[in-house]
Chain A
Amino acid sequence: MSGFKTVLLKECRDNFRDRRTILSSFSLAVLGPLLFIGLMSFVLNTALGESSEPAEVSITGAEYAPDLIDYLASRNTEITLIDSEDPRTDVVERRHDLILAIPEDYQARFTEGLMVPVTLWHDSSQIGSSRRNFSAVRAMVGSYARTIGVLRLQLRGVDPTIANPIVVQEMDTASPAARALTVLATLPYLLILVVFMGGFYLAIDATAGEREHGSLEPLLCQPISRAALVLGKTCAAAVFSAVSLALFLVSFAIAIPFAPLHKIGMSLEVDVAMSAAIFFVSTPLMVLGAAVLTSVASYAKSYKEAQTYLTMVILVPTLPLIVTQMMNIEPSAVLMTVPSLSQSMLINQLITGETVDYLHVFISMAMTSLTAAAMIRLTVWLYNRERILI
């Protein structure tokens, strides 16, 4: 394997000097965690905000129904008393988002035990908090009405349950912590993308780029075996992937304290040991990623062509992740044979602090390495063909 190291060093040095390659190889790695933390903060803040923020409602004709207003005020609401002639226009013209209109004859009908229509004006095409306010206020008024109804039945000596044969109990289990975990589950995608993006441009430059610049022919006239040549180029791409992942982990460790995870009682500490473990289980994937990128880019005739192919190729490793996440499949020894999927599962376990099965780690690393070796062989075969130059 003489010459392997020479090629490896040359490709690394050559590409480290290219600002465009550096920028596109490592920008995702450095900025990805910031993006991730931003998304996490956003989700957490909305999730936390929703459960505690009072429902805002404007009420017209409040003086006709002081009991109802007292009841609403005792709940989590923020009431604005208004005097609106035309609630419909007020809502349409957005002077108020939600208006509860109480009729003049409220008290009279109420005392007689007649049905009292109150109107809740809202605009369902508005997104944002108004829809949530609407359902909250509707539920409150409804529960007030039920309470009154129950009292009336009891006064007449009737069992109130007779009027409610079936009761639906709504249980929303989506806690802020669960939502935060959904965001956290996207982290492996990002990590795998970072690994692939790291070697992306070097792989193109070292193969299709070399071909396009006419430097491949003199290179092939050097006394170095095609296998050493391909291995050197592939490993150079893997080095870039490794740098990319390392940068990501550093950037992530710096950014994670800024995520408001403490608000939901979760603590996520990314320490050196965890980062090292993530890096370690990902090493075969770096080589595989580099091998796949290099082989596909070797097949392409020009830089542009290679770029087109590889953009499609880097979507492939995320496919098994999406499928299993949708189907909610647990990690198993069989799934550990699938490259990229196995790494994402292991990384997920490492981040959430679950115990990792060492057998799983072994299967994942072995199978991914074998696949990488097969891809390298394929690239060597491509380079042994005369068509590599034509």
Chain B
Amino acid sequence: MIQAEGLVKSFGAVQAVQDVSFKADDGRVTALLGPNGAGKSTCLRILSTILTADAGKAYVGGHEVGTDRNAVLKSMGVLPHATGLYTRLTARENIAYFGELHGIGKAALTNRIDDLVQELEMSAFIDRKVEGFSQGQRIKVALARAIVHNPQNLMLDEPTNGLDVMATRALREIILSLKRQGRCVLFSSHIMQEVANLCDDVIVIGGGQVRFQGTLDELVRSSGEEDLEDAFIRMAGIEE
């Protein structure tokens, strides 16, 4: 479970996030929806302990972000905006690096990576250097790296950005299987189609504030629009 309570963050004179509260439950896929510059990445970065909120509290798996950094990071996997793989290392070495940083023992790590290779169908390229990988292969490796420590919670920042159809589909499959395992998945996006295909709950952010939180159906109903995209635009307050 990922929870935010009254988060505030500003960069100089710019207020990126103003009093943001939301909740993402276990066993559900929650989308953080908003136009560019709405504060999605800032929220995720506060949750992943990289940024410190000016005010408010946040919890990941019950651990408070900011006071219990290690516990938060151990119960959470993060897939940031860029996949950020090391191109001179093999896929296996990339995954193993983060596994070791999580303190996973050698034998357990080997087993875990073998499982991930099965789960994410990476056997064809697991021992090749990442240089020259396709986007689909890269996103799989990056995702495997993010969940190598088997976290209950997963955060993805615009994961489908720049992915082709097949890669997007592969990612969707993985996210759904994580959901079936009872994990909490929170991802940011501004693409309606992928949200509609994947999400149980939606949080709409606009201008650094939460405009709506609920299920997809509720979003359409409460906005008074037929179409999901129109509902999103109205809720995010873009048309103003």
Contacts and interface: CB of A to CB of B under 8 A. Distances in A.
A356 to B, nearest CB: 42
Given A223-B69, A386-B52, A218 B78 contact: yes
B97 A215 contact: no
A221 interface: yes
Interface stretch (A2-10, A103-111, A125-133, A321-329): A2-10
Nearest to A216: B84
Contacts of B89: 10, 13-14, 17
Contacts of A152: none
Contacts of A3: 100-101, 103
Contacts of A224: 101
Contacts of B88: 14, 17-18
A6 B84 contact: no
Contact of A223 (B50, B52, B73): B73
A338 B83 CA distance: 44
B50 A222 contact: no
B55 interface: no
Interface in B127-143: 142
A214 B84 contact: yes
A220 interface: yes
A221 B145 contact: no
B48 interface: yes
Interface in A1-31: 2-3, 6-7, 10, 13-14, 17-18
B49 to A, nearest CB: 7
A7 B101 CA distance: 8
Contacts of B102: 222-223
B100 A6 contact: yes
A13 B52 CA distance: 33
A319 interface: no
A221 B84 contact: no
A316 to B, nearest CB: 30
B81 A221 contact: no
Contact of A218 (B87, B100, B145): B145
Q: Which of B45, B51, B81, B101 has the most CB of A within 10 A?
A: B101
B82 interface: yes
Interface string B51-70: 11000000000000000011
A113 B186 CA distance: 114
B50 A389 contact: yes
A94 interface: no
B74 interface: yes
Contacts of A7: 101
Contact of A221 (B73, B83, B85, B103): B73
Nearest to B74: A223
A213 B73 contact: no
A357 interface: no
B80 interface: yes
B81 A214 contact: yes
A10 B97 contact: yes
Nearest to A215: B84
A220 B69 CA distance: 11
A155 to B, nearest CB: 91
B133 to A, nearest CB: 14
B22 interface: no
Contacts of B98: 218, 222
Given A13-B89, A14-B89, A6 B50 contact: no
A221 B82 contact: no
A224 B102 CA distance: 8
B209 to A, nearest CB: 22
Contacts of B142: 218
Nearest to A3: B101
Given A13-B89, A223-B73, A214 B101 contact: no
Contacts of B78: 218, 221
Contacts of A216: 84
Q: Which of A2, A18, A215, A219 has the most CB of B within 10 A?
A: A215
A223 B93 CA distance: 18
B235 interface: no
Contacts of B97: 6, 10
A217 B81 contact: yes
A220 B146 CA distance: 12
B82 A222 contact: no
A10 B73 CA distance: 20
Given A217-B50, A218-B145, A223 B86 contact: no
Interface string B8-46: 000100000000000000000000000000000000010
B157 to A, nearest CB: 9
Contacts of A14: 86, 88-89
B85 A386 contact: no
B70 A221 contact: no
A216 B103 CA distance: 19
Interface string B87-114: 1110001000110111100000000000
A10 B89 CA distance: 9
Contacts of A390: 11
B67 to A, nearest CB: 14
Given A3-B103, A14-B86, 12 more contacts: A6-B97, A13-B93, A18-B88, A215-B85, A217-B50, A217-B81, A217-B84, A218-B142, A221-B73, A221-B76, A223-B69, A390-B11
10 contacts: A6-B101, A14-B88, A14-B89, A213-B82, A213-B84, A214-B82, A218-B142, A223-B70, A223-B73, A386-B52
Interface of B: 11, 45, 48-52, 69-70, 73-74, 76, 78-89, 93, 97-98, 100-103, 142, 145-146
- List the 10 shortest-distance A-B pairs measured between CB atoms, nearest first: A214-B82, A215-B84, A214-B84, A221-B78, A223-B73, A222-B101, A6-B100, A217-B80, A17-B88, A223-B70
